[in-house]
Every structure is written in structure tokens, then in C-alpha cells.
Amino acid sequence: MSEQEIKVPDLGGADEVEIIEIIVSEGDSVEEEDPILTVESDKASVELPAPAAGKITKITVKVGDKVKEGDVIGMLAASGDAGGSDDDGSDKSDEPEPKAESKTEAKSEDSKPAPRKKSGGSRTEVVKVPSLDGFEDVPVIEINVAEGDTVGEEDPLVTVESDKATMEIPSPYAGKIGKILVKEGDKLSEGSDLLEMTIEDDGGEEEDSADSGESSQPDSQESKPEQKQGKQESAPQPQGSTYEPPSPGTKVHAGPAVRKLARELGADLTRVKGSGPKGRIVKDDVHAYVKSQLQQAQQGGGVATGSGIPGVKLPDFSQFGEIEREGMSRMMAATATNMQRSWLNVPHVTQFDDADITEMEAFRKGQKAAGEKRGVKMTPLPFLLKACAAALAELPQFNVSLDMERKEVVRKKYIHIGIAVDTPHGLMVPVIRDVDQKGLWELAAESAELAQKARDKQLKPAEMQGACFTITSLGGIGGTAFTPIVNTPEVAILGVSKASMKPVWDGKEFQPRLMLPLSLSYDHRAVNGADAARFTNLLTQLLGDIRTLLL
């Protein structure tokens, strides 16, 4: 056994890349081509493989370091027969490098057509549907190109509609549209064939393609041998006896693409069992885990989800007069399902209060000229957002989610707030992130932009995820109070009704004051009544004197 340097192999033309994950530790034994660490360029992430089988004796880099081809990232005590030891001893660093290079190149060559190697040539690619943020079977509602069109990279090809929003699928290349393989009304999922495209190659494109090819190949290669096994294992999982996830807190071995998928699907990687080399989690593992959780909810959770409640049998309404039937939109059906799930699973309580916003409204209206200069209209919503953010920071028990399966409370260290928007297509809830770190003008501009995107059905799935709390306002329509339904897995929601002038006793006489009705619904499993009263009290204080928002 001889010790050799582990060097960064050919990076497909990338000059300098950042280390985003170190997969092994000193003392670990690895096989040739096992991933050692993951680096990320401006084009893709790539796993760097071990140049030989052996034992990691030293790691000379850390996460965040930037490396380039030829840099030493660690030391490896290579294992092998006598002949192998003599060869390694005579040339410690030069021999392993070609192995890493040749393997890396082989992966690119296997996944790419031969014409890519020719500078100035052309090739035909089948463009496939990229990740749809967990959605499947989304219908095509518009085809934005025609056969023979020339498009640039990221130009929209087709538009699809999910339960929540419409999404444009962009072109991954610049080129000429060949045969279009779909039509309006077809349902697509990730990986579906979309169209054929002719792409002109040059040297720079070849390097970019090789880079992206390397980043995607390891996941697909790892997942193929385990695909059948993953599918077979997922079937009995709902029984609750055969699936044994790793212990929470276990170190997770997964690449960036897998981690992104897990975030999009809401999967906890500490509970996903990896089927890749050395227990590494691949995409199929995440899909199998999510599928098992859904099956458990459907088959084993009848009582918890309320599915045991008898449905309402409808009469034949046509006997009373003329009727017409129409199918629910995907958005309406999804909203109905989510509302029912929240109502059946959450023990709701609603706390009511009134906030004196007389001074706040006077200040807001005084900003009209400044708003016209900025091109932004200052509405009451930014003040509500800031007040709620301050209340969530002061009373963090409202900024949690309950994991009943693991009997844990998930405490969030960020403050993202959803705003319910009434659209012609149904209720949509875009999310404003880091509300506590933004000013009133920034919140006014962002909330207006998101509301318009919701009305135009242009919201991306990521713009409707991650909320800690929700505000829903009917003040522009009317009403004095209502009981909003908590948007699970959040534990509270604030309903805002129409402000009205009321006589308020100031200790000496009645004064006309503009009062804003607030309705705070909360999950009584996470929040008690006293805390709810403190929350609304704090909101009324903050809205009653907006100077306190600066403290």
C-alpha cells in the first residue's frame, strides 16, 4: 500500500470551482470512482471520484474552498497487489490523474452524441421536460413555438398548467425547432419528450455540454441499478413495518440536485434511506420515500385525515329545475382538498380584536406623492406584514410547525409570510420572504408584483412555498369579522376585515377612531388562548403606533 496525492481531474473546461460538499472523511475506505467531494461551477455541480481504491489518509480542503484542475485535495493510501504498489511508488501523482480524467471523459462520451466533439458541427437533441417542482401529469395549455423557428437559450417553448399555477418550460439550448412531439392538451411529467431541436456546436458549447453532462450522469447511473428495488420496497411501506428510515440527525450523503428535489417535495433527507454507493441518496430514493408517505396517508390515515367521515350524497337537482354541470378547475380542486385537510386536522380557535389605525392611515395617505415618484402604491398591507413579522419574532410559538409523526415541534428561524390573493382562477397564496428584513416600500412593491403575477397565473411554485404565517384580507370587500382556516403546516393565519369609523372612549369623551377588525385563527395544539390574546394585543399596539415598528 502506497500513499498518493488526490488531484482535481479535468473539469470540462471550468477554470475554478467551489467545493460545496465533502462526502468522505479521513480514515474512510473508498473504491475507485467512489465520489469524494462535490464541486459547483457556474454551469453545474460535479462529483469528483476517487482515482483508485484505498483509504483516505488526509483531506486538505474544506467546504467553500475554490479549486482548479491539478490542485491537491487530499491523500489516498492506495491498495493493490505488488505490481500495483511498485507502479504507484514510482509515480505517485501522475498515474491516478489520467484514470480520473479518462473515467470522467468516458461518462461524458457515454451520455452525449459523438457529433458534440466536432467544433462548428450540428446535432439534433430531443428536449425533455425538466423538473416541474414535484408536479406530474400537467396539461399543455399553449405551444409557444412552431417547427422551423429559431430560439435562444431560456426562450419559452410550451406553457403547462399545474394545480397551482401556469409555468413556461424554457429551451435548454439555442437552436432551431425540429419536430414538435406534443400538442395542446397532452399531459407531461418530468422527463417527457417535448420536441426535437437542431443545435449548432462550437468549442465553448461543447465544454458547457460536457460540464452539464457530468453533473447529471452520476445520479442517473447510481439510480438505475436500484430503480426496481426502490419500486418493490415502496409497495409494503404503508404497512409501517418494513421501512426503517435512518435515525434523525444522521449525516446525509446526497448531491445538490437530490437536495433541491427533497426541498421541493418537502422530504426530510434524514429519514430517506440511500440506495447509492456508501448509502448515498439518489433521486429515486426521494421519490420512493415521498410515495410511501402518501400511501401511508391514504391507506393508514383514515381517522387522522377525516376520510372516515361519510360523504354527502347529493339529490338529483334536475328534478327541481334546469341545471348545468361543469368540471372543477385543477386549482379549485386542489384548494378544496387543502381546505378540507386543514379543517379536519387542525383544532381551530379564532381570536378577535380591533386595531386603532387612525394615525397609520393618516401617515399612509401622506405617502401618496412619494409613492407616485417611486411608482409604488402604499397600501395597508405592508404595515400588516411588518407588524406580523414583529409579532412572530416576539412570540416565536406562532412560527412553528408540528411534526406529529415524530412528536416534534419544528421552530423556524426565518420569517416568510403568505398573502392570500383573490384571482379569477381561485385563491392563491404567494409568499414574501424575509419580511422582517425589508422596509415598507420594498414590501409594497413586492406584494403588488406577486399579486399581479397571481392574477396573471404567472407565479412559480417556489413563489408559493415556505410561508410561516398567512394574511388574508377582505377589507376591500366588506364584513366585520370571519374565521379564516389555518393554512397547514402553518399554525396561524390573520384575517383582516373592513375598517370603519367608531366612537372610542378616551377616558374623558368619545373620539371618532378608524378601527380595523382582526381575526386570528390558530392551531390549538401549538398555540394556547393566552398566547393568541398576546399576539393580537401586540398587533393592535404596533398598528396603533407605527413608530414602534422601528424599535
**Strand, helix or coil at 384?**
helix
Is residue 529 assigned to a domain? Answer: yes
Whole-number percent of the chain with pLDDT over 70: 77
- 175-180 and 193-200 as β-strands: parallel, antiparallel, unpaired? antiparallel
pLDDT of amino acid 407: 92
Whether 479 and 528 share a structural domain:
yes
Could you tell me if 65 and 152 lie in one domain? no
Query: Is 215 inside a domain boundary?
Result: no
Q: Is the pTM of this model over 0.75?
A: no
What pLDDT was estimated at residue 78?
81
- Would you give the DSSP letter of residue 213? H
Domain with 56, as residue range(s), is 2-111
Question: Are 147 and 294 in a shared domain?
Answer: no
Question: Which of 64, 89, 111 is a domain's end point?
Answer: 111
The domain boundary, picked from 54, 87, 111, lies at 111
Task: Measure the CA–CA gap between 380 and 295, rounded to whole angstroms.
Answer: 43
93 is a domain residue: yes
Kindly state whether residue 210 falls inside one of the protein's structural domains: no
Residue type, 145: V
Map residue 201 onto helix, strand or coil.
coil
Classified as helix, coil or strand, 64 is coil
Residues 433 and 378 in one domain: yes
Are 264 and 355 within one domain?
no
Check whether 306 has a pLDDT greater than 50.
no
Residue 323 has pLDDT above 70, yes or no: yes
- What is the spatial distance between Cα 181 and Cα 171, in angstroms, rounded to a whole number? 14
- Same-domain check for residues 98 and 19: yes
Q: Are residues 167 and 189 in the same domain?
A: yes
- Does residue 229 share a domain with residue 195? no
- Say what the pLDDT of residue 191 is: 86
* CATH value at residue 365: 3.30.559.10
Domain for residue 165, yes or no?
yes
* Model confidence at 511: pLDDT above 80: yes
User: What pLDDT digit, counting tens, does each position of 330-370 carry?
Assistant: 788 888 888 988 999 999 999 999 999 999 999 999 999 99
Q: Which of 111, 137, 153 is the last residue of a domain?
A: 111
Task: Determine contact, residues 182/145, Cβ cutoff 8 Å.
Answer: no
246 with 352, same domain: the answer is: no
Which is more confident, 502 or 243?
A: 502
Q: What is the largest CA-CA distance in the chain?
A: 101
Work out how many domains the chain is built from and give that number: 4
On whether both 376 and 502 belong to a single domain, the answer is yes
Q: Residue 335 domain-assigned?
A: no
State the CATH number of the domain containing residue 226: 4.10.320.10
Q: Which residues are catalytic?
A: 524
Report if residue 194 sits inside a domain. yes
Sheet with 35-40, strands from edge to edge, namely 45-49, 35-40, 17-22, 66-67
Q: Is 507 exposed, middle or buried (0-12, 13-18, 19+ CB in 10 A)?
A: exposed
Helices 256-265 and 203-234 pack at an angle, to 10 degrees, of 50
- 243-288 pLDDT, tens digit per residue, is 445 554 456 777 667 777 887 787 888 888 888 766 778 888 888 8
Q: Which residue has the cell 411554485?
A: 461
Q: How far apart are CA 415 and CA 358, in angstroms?
A: 27
Place of cell 419559452: 156
DSSP annotation of 171 reads P
**When comparing pLDDT for 123 and 212, which is higher?**
123
pLDDT digits (tens, 9 = 90+) for 374-384: 999 999 999 99
Q: What is the domain-level CATH number for residue 166?
A: 2.40.50.100
What are the residues facing 427 on neighbouring strands? 422
Residue 209 included in any domain = no
Q: Same structural domain for residues 24 and 141?
A: no
- Residues facing 353 on adjacent strands: 518
Residues 102 and 133 in one domain: no
